[in-house]
Amino acid sequence: MSKGYKNFISGKWQVSKSGQTFENINPADSKQVVGRFQKSNQEDINEAVAAAKEAQVKWRNTPAPKRGEMLFRAGELLLKNKDTLAREMTMEMGKVFKETGGDVQECIDMAYYAAGEGRRLAGETVPSEMPNKFCMSVRMPVGIVAAITPWNFPMAIPTWKLFPALIAGNTVVLKPASDTPLSAVNLVKLLEKAGFPPGVINLVTGTGDEVGTPLIDHSNVNLVSFTGSSNTGSLVAEHCARRMKKFSLEMGGKNAVIVMDDADLNSALEGVLWGAFGTTGQRCTACSRVIVHKKVMKKFNDLLIDRANKLSLGNGLDEKVEMGPLINESQRQKVKKYVDIGVEEGAKLIVGGNYHNVKNCRNGFFFQPTVFTDVSPKMRIAQEEIFGPVLSVIPCDGLEQAIGIVKDSKFGLSSAIYTQDVNRAFKAIEYLDTGITYINSSTIGAEIQLPFGGTKGTGNGHREAGTAGIDVFTEWKSVYVDYSGKLQKAQID
């Protein structure tokens, strides 16, 4: 019998009012049950939100530097337990151990960064247009935050939401993805140990319909922070808009790497391979399009075919493995469907394209690294987010055309260019309409001290991480202190 895990509400670990559980499966070996988790319902959400509401006033009145000390302790605990956390994350999510270690490291980095913000949380002081009058702006917490997080970064993304929310004085109800609840439980256990008071952090597991929707719709939730698919994000937006509720959306991408004719091809190859097949292509920042100058197309494709065919697949706990499984069978079938679409559209399949069922991969949700050439920018495989290890190679005649191809997308998350020409690099920075642009690096690899997010269909204008991440979880208040001893009428006097 697999181990059972509970919800965390008001400082206590407890079973769901539903009395039901669901199983968490290892995607590298579907016969292995990682654990049983609570299949929660509306009653559990009501209790969690009530706990967050009860704790919120006391928490916001806790000095921000004291809140930061707790986050610093959380960072220390995450660092101490990094290997164990990464190992269990690989078991439930599938990506290789080095990558899950990076996932946990992002949590550590965010803990230390947010802890430091406890002694800043800066507003502004500005001059008044009137004498004997002082003007400033300060940040106020929004109140109760619902954090709804995906399975591809099952610890990093929750901390991108929780830690800025907590340092700003909010309380939180976390609803993790049903495919990766163990990492969320492990995170909350360490936050409990770090000393956060009861009700400040609450965790409720379950499905989107039975937990996510009631949480979004709850009248006492002040802000919904969501990361996931564009389809689900649009539903979150609809629900929040009807209730005049703040919401932050981080959704899809169709990210591209431009390889110019003067690029270091070996460096570009490494960046494209990492961007396309790291995390098995299951990143919102994954490189799913590579736009290659026709002058170097053949040489680059030859290098790409050779390396992609040599990538080793298997259980991510094996240090020799370079790419793990997809998250579940449904996702694997979706990727296969897109491969079939690419073939039907006339693209040339040159690497992979099918399930990977050899040797120790037979019981997992493995899919071969896949590369298409002769892809035109309007093909579905070049326009729609696949969220798997499928790369489309698109030819271009020069920088202007390449930028046009990148911009021909409903998404605007990440982009990259490989070139030795500084003029080309700065033109790319100026004209690529994405929230992130890399020069001579891959489309993946964000650092937490800079804003993360995108344009167009990637989100609704908010950013995570950096100081911009604090903006999501705070309201601005403008303060005027008049010490003139009389009524002064701005713009009139």
Q: Which residues are annotated as catalytic?
A: 250, 284
Tokens 């689900």 belong to: 232
Beta pairing partners, 172? 145, 201
For residue 51, which phi and psi values (nearest 5 degrees)?
-65, -40
DSSP H/E element including 91: helix 82-93
Q: Which residues contact 460 (CB under 8 A, 6 or more apart)?
A: 237, 247, 248, 249
With b for 16 or more beta-carbon neighbours within 10 A and e for fewer, the 111-125 pattern comes to bbbbbebbeebebee
For residue 131, which phi and psi values (nearest 5 degrees)?
-75, 155
List the Cα angle 89/95/98 in 5-degree steps: 85
How many other β-carbons are positioned within 10 Å of the β-carbon of residue 491?
6
Residue 231: what residue type?
N
User: Please, what sign has the CA dihedral across residues 87, 91, 97, 101?
Assistant: negative
> How far from the centroid of its chain's Cα atoms is residue 415's Cα?
16
Sheet holding 436-439, edge to edge: 348-351, 370-373, 390-396, 287-293, 255-259, 414-418, 436-439
List the Cα angle 177/179/184 in 5-degree steps: 55
> E strands within 183-286?
201-203, 223-227, 246-250, 255-259
Among 59, 51, 42, 88, which Cα is nearest to 189's? 88
Are 23 and 328 spatial neighbours (Cβ–Cβ below 8 Å)? Answer: no
For residue 301, which phi and psi values (nearest 5 degrees)?
-60, -40
